Structure 1
Amino acid sequence: MTSNLKNVPPNWQKVRFDEIAQIVTDRIEKPVESGLSDYIGLEHLDTDCIRIKRFGSTEDVDATKFLCKKGDIIFGKRRAYLRKLAVSDREAVVSAHSMVLRPTGDKIYPDFLPCFMQSSIFWKTAHSISEGSMSPTIKWKTLAAQEFWLPSIEEQKKISELLWSIEDNIQKTEKLIETIEILKQGLLNELLTKGIGHTRFKDSELGRIPEEWEVKKIKDFCDVKTGTTPSTENQAYWNGNIRWMSSGEINKKFIYDTEKKITEEAVQNSNLKTHPTNSVMIALNGQGKTRGSVAIIKVPTTCNQSLACLIPDEHLADYLYIYYNLQNRYLEIRNYTGNNGREGLNLTIVKNIKIALPPLEEQNRIRNIFNLLDNSIQRNYENIAKLSSIRKKLSNKLILGDLITEL
C-alpha cells in the first residue's frame, strides 16, 4: 500500500517504511534484573504527544519485554487509533505491545521520523493495516512494506527543526506551570496558617493561627447536603436537562457541566435537591485518588450519594477560600475514617472537619492571590493547547507537501 498525495512536490521520493526505520527487538526476559528502573507501557504514552511524561517501575512488571535506548521511538502497535507514539529520553524497558523503532538509511533525517509518524497520513495507514477486531494490532512485516512519499533530506531537516522548536516551547511552558504550582503550594501552606500581615498568634487545635482567626467546623458556616441515584430502570428519570454529578467528575477546579442529565420527574420522586452555583463539592468515595477531591460547581447541579455539597453562608465564608483550604488538606481529609473504622468519608465526617477561618475580608484577599496563580496556570495550559494544535496542523500540511515551498 502506498500513501497517496494529490500532488507530489518535486524532489520527493517514494520509500518503503523499512528503508527509513528498523525495528529493535532486544529482549529482556526478567525486567527486574535488567539493571534498569524505568518501564514504559502503553499507559505511559499520551495520544498525540511526542514526549513520555511518566514511567512505571521494572519492579512492577514481569514476563518478556523489550529494551529501548535514548532517542528510540516507542510506537503503540496495539489500538493504533489511539495514536500513541513518543521518543524516549532514556534507556528503559518497554511493553511488548509496543514497537521500538530507530531511523535507518540515508533517505530519512533522524529527527524527522517521529514527526512524520505523528502525521495524519501515517496514522491513516497504520489504522488501515491493523489486524483483529477486539484489540487490533500492527505487524512489523506489514508496516515495513508500506510505501510513503517523503521530502528531500534538506526539507526534512527544515520541517523537523520547525516542529521540534514548537515542542520545545510546549515543554518550556510545562516547566513554567510546574514552577507556578510549586509557588502556589508554598503560599497555600503559608497563607492558610499565618494569613496576611499578622504579628500576633495563638495556639489552637489546628496549630498556631492569627489571634483574629477562629477554628470552626464546616457545619458552622456551610449547609452540607448529598444526593442520590434515580432508578436506572425508569427511563423517564434520565436524559433530561437537569445536571447530575458523580464523584468521578471531580477532575478540575470548576465544573460547568455533567456527563449525565436527569428529568424533573426524577427530582420530584426522590430526595434530590439542586445545589446552587459556587457550592463546593467533595468526593466521599470513588476510585483511585477520587476520595477527598474537591471542585466548585459553576451551574446549578444535583449529585449522587458519593458527593457532599458544601453550600457556604456568604456572610461567614468564601467558597473559594473553602475550596483552597480543603484542596490543600487533601491527603489528610481522604484518610479520615468514621467511628466504625471503615475507610471513606461520610456527611458526619465532612460536617465536622475543622477549618481555621479568618474574617471574611481576609478570606477574600487570600483567595484572590490563589486565583491569580490559578488563572496564570490556566492561561499557560491554553497556550500549550494552541501550540499543540498549531504543531499538528503544520505537521500534516508540511508532510502532505502543502506548505513545503514556503519553508
Structure 2
Amino acid sequence: MSAAVMLSDVAKLVMGQSPPSSSYNDIGDGLPFYQGKTDFGATYPTPRIYCREPKKLAEEGDILMSVRAPVGATNLCKGRSCIGRGIAAIRANGIDRDFLYFYLKKIETYIDSLGSGAIFKAINKSQLAELPINEAGIPLPEQKKIAHILSTVQRAIEAQERIIQTTTELKKALMHKLLTEGLRNEPQKQTEIGPIPESWEVAELGEFFQIKHGFAFDGQFFEPTGKYILMTPGHFHEEGGFRDQGEKTKYFTGEIPKDYILAKDDLVVAMTEQKSGLLGSSAFVPEDRRYLHNQRLGLIVDLDGNRLSKRFLFNVFNLPHLRVEVAKTSTGSKVKHTSPTKLRAVKVGIPPTLEEQDEIATAISTTERKIGVATNKKTQLQDLFRTLLHELMTAKMRVDGIDLPLGTP
C-alpha cells in the first residue's frame, strides 16, 4: 500500500440523507436517527429521535463524521442507524477501523478548514474522498497496536467522565438532603420556603452580610498575559466552585483602583448570567492578590461569622431553591442580571450553630474533592491522549516504547 493514499482508497463513504419528517418519532419506533455533532458523545452517539423510513444507513462499526456545521467531529456507530444530511458514514476497508478513526481525530482541524458555505460550513463527498491518509502505509499489525493503545487511554478518560457524572449527581442529592433536612434527624416544620428542621430558622441572607459591587475595568487594557487576572462569571461552574479559564483567561494591564484586588478565599457570586445556570453561582478565590473584582461579580463582605459559616454559605448559594428565587427577580431579556438587594432578600433555612453548618459543609466538600480528583485525572489522560495521538501517528514514538500510567484499564 502506498504511504500516502486518499480516504476513498481505504473506506467506503455513505453521505447521509434526511428521511421524511413524518417518519420521525421519539418513542423508539424504527432506527436511531443521527443528524450531526449534536447527537455525538465522547465515543458513541446518543439517539434522541428515531426514523421509520430511513434513506441512508450507517452500519455497526462505521465511523460517523459530522460534515455540516461543524465539520470533522467523529463518533463510532454502535448499530444500524439512519443518518441525515449532517453525517457521513465511513466504512473502513483495507485499514484498521480504529486506527482510521483515531487518524481522522488527529486531522480534525484540517478537515474543519475544508468546510465552506455562506450560512454554515459543510464538506461534500468529493472533499471527503480526497482526504489524505498519510499514515495508511503503517503495517496493519502496527495499526492495530496503535489503535489498542489509544483506545485504552480513551476508555480511561470515559471512566473518569462516568465518575464525575455519578459523583456530581450524588453531590446534588446530598446538598438537597443536608441543606433541607440537616444532620441531626430532627422533626421537620413547615415554613414559607418548605420543610426544614425544627431548630433551624428562616432568614433573609441580608441579615448576615453585605455584597460589594465590582469595578468596570477598561477593555483596552485586556491582554492574553499579565500579572492580574480579570475574574468573570466564566470562572464559575454552574453548580458552584471555581473554574480555570485556561486559554480564555483575560489579564488586565492597566491601573487598578484601590480595593478591587481579591484575596485568597474571598467568596464571590456571579451577578450576571454569562451563560445559562451561572446566575447566583458562588466560588472561592483560589489565589491571593491575583484576581480582580469586576462589575459582573458580587463580593461577600461584612459577614457575621458568629452566626453564619462562609463554607456553609458557599453551598447555600448553590441550592436550587435559591437559584430559582434569584432567577425570578432577575432583569434582562438576553443576559440576566441580579443585584445585591435582590440577592440579599432571598430567604433560606439556617442551622442554629456554626458547628452544624460546618459539618454540613464538610460532608458536601468530600464529594467535591472526589469530583476534583476525577477531573484532574481526566485532564491528565486527555493530555496523554493528545500526545500519543500525535507521536504514534507520526512515528515519533514506537508502540513498544509505550508504558501506560497506572489507572488506565
TM-score > 0.5 by shorter chain: yes
Structure 1 residue 356 and structure 2 residue 343: aligned?
Answer: no
**Counterpart selection for 1:345 from 338, 350, 360:** 338
**Counterpart selection for 1:398 from 387, 392, 395:** 392
**1:280-315 CA-partner distances (Å, limit 9, x unpaired):** 313344443333333332345444443333333333
More displaced, 370-379 or 197-206? 197-206
Give, in whole Å, the separation in 2 of the partners of 1:286 and 1:394: 35
2:328 maps to a residue whose letter is Y
Give, in whole Å, the separation in 2 of the partners of 1:160 and 1:341: 49
Q: Hey, what does 2:36 align to over in structure 1?
A: 41
2:230 maps to a residue whose letter is W
Summarize the alignment of residues 100-249 of structure 1 with structure 2, pairs less than 5 Å apart.
100-104=89-93, 107-119=94-106, 122-123=107-108, 126=111, 130=114, 138-145=123-130, 146-148=132-134, 149-232=136-219, 235=220, 241-249=227-235
More displaced, 357-366 or 272-281? 272-281
Give, in whole Å, the separation in 1 of the partners of 2:277 and 2:81: 27
Q: Residues 294 and 96 (structure 1 numbering): CA distance in 2 closer, same or farther, change over 3 Å?
A: farther
Q: Hey, what does 1:253 align to over in structure 2?
A: 241
Give, in whole Å, the separation in 1 of the partners of 2:22 and 2:323: 31
CA-CA distance at 1:351 after TM superposition:
0.7
Structure 1 residue 267 and structure 2 residue 257: aligned?
Answer: yes
Structure 1 residue 367 and structure 2 residue 361: aligned?
Answer: yes
1:333 maps to a residue whose letter is E
SS at structure 2 position matched to 1:196: coil
2:271 maps to a residue whose letter is A
SS at structure 2 position matched to 1:254: coil
**Counterpart selection for 1:86 from 66, 70, 75:** 75
Q: Residues 184 and 162 (structure 1 numbering): CA distance in 2 closer, same or farther, change over 3 Å?
A: same
CA-CA distance at 1:350 after TM superposition:
0.3
Q: Residues 203 and 136 (structure 1 numbering): CA distance in 2 closer, same or farther, change over 3 Å?
A: closer
More displaced, 222-231 or 190-199? 222-231
Q: Residues 353 and 37 (structure 1 numbering): CA distance in 2 closer, same or farther, change over 3 Å?
A: farther
**Counterpart selection for 2:318 from 327, 336, 343:** 327
Query: In the alignment, is the contact (CA less than 8 A) between 2:196 and 2:349 conserved in 1?
Result: yes
**Counterpart selection for 1:281 from 256, 269, 272:** 269
Q: TM-score, normalised by structure 2?
A: 0.75
Q: Residues 41 and 226 (structure 1 numbering): CA distance in 2 closer, same or farther, change over 3 Å?
A: farther
* Structure 2 stretches lacking a partner, 5+ long: 26-30, 403-409
Q: Residues 209 and 308 (structure 1 numbering): CA distance in 2 closer, same or farther, change over 3 Å?
A: same
More displaced, 171-180 or 31-40? 31-40
Give, in whole Å, the separation in 1 of the partners of 2:99 and 2:141: 11
Query: In the alignment, is the contact (CA less than 8 A) between 1:218 and 1:351 conserved in 2?
Result: yes
Q: Residues 353 and 147 (structure 1 numbering): CA distance in 2 closer, same or farther, change over 3 Å?
A: closer
Q: TM-score, normalised by structure 1?
A: 0.75
Give, in whole Å, the separation in 2 of the partners of 1:256 and 1:205: 38
Query: In the alignment, is the contact (CA less than 8 A) between 2:145 and 2:399 conserved in 1?
Result: no
Give, in whole Å, the separation in 2 of the partners of 1:384 and 1:218: 37
CA-CA distance at 1:386 after TM superposition:
2.2
* Structure 1 stretches lacking a partner, 5+ long: 1-10
Percent identity over paired residues:
21
Q: Residues 65 and 383 (structure 1 numbering): CA distance in 2 closer, same or farther, change over 3 Å?
A: farther
Q: Hey, what does 1:295 align to over in structure 2?
A: 283
Q: Residues 32 and 259 (structure 1 numbering): CA distance in 2 closer, same or farther, change over 3 Å?
A: farther
Query: In the alignment, is the contact (CA less than 8 A) between 1:40 and 1:92 conserved in 2?
Result: no
SS at structure 2 position matched to 1:327: coil
Give, in whole Å, the separation in 2 of the partners of 1:131 and 1:182: 38
Q: Hey, what does 2:373 align to over in structure 1?
A: 379
Q: Hey, what does 1:19 align to over in structure 2?
A: 9
Summarize the alignment of residues 57-72 of structure 1 with structure 2, pairs less than 5 Å apart.
68-72=58-62
Structure 1 residue 74 and structure 2 residue 64: aligned?
Answer: yes
CA-CA distance at 1:206 after TM superposition:
2.8
Give, in whole Å, the separation in 1 of the partners of 2:312 and 2:97: 51
Q: Residues 162 and 194 (structure 1 numbering): CA distance in 2 closer, same or farther, change over 3 Å?
A: same
SS at structure 2 position matched to 1:315: coil
Q: Hey, what does 2:406 align to over in structure 1?
A: none
Q: Residues 165 and 338 (structure 1 numbering): CA distance in 2 closer, same or farther, change over 3 Å?
A: closer
CA-CA distance at 1:263 after TM superposition:
5.9
More displaced, 387-396 or 256-265? 256-265
Q: Residues 140 and 83 (structure 1 numbering): CA distance in 2 closer, same or farther, change over 3 Å?
A: closer
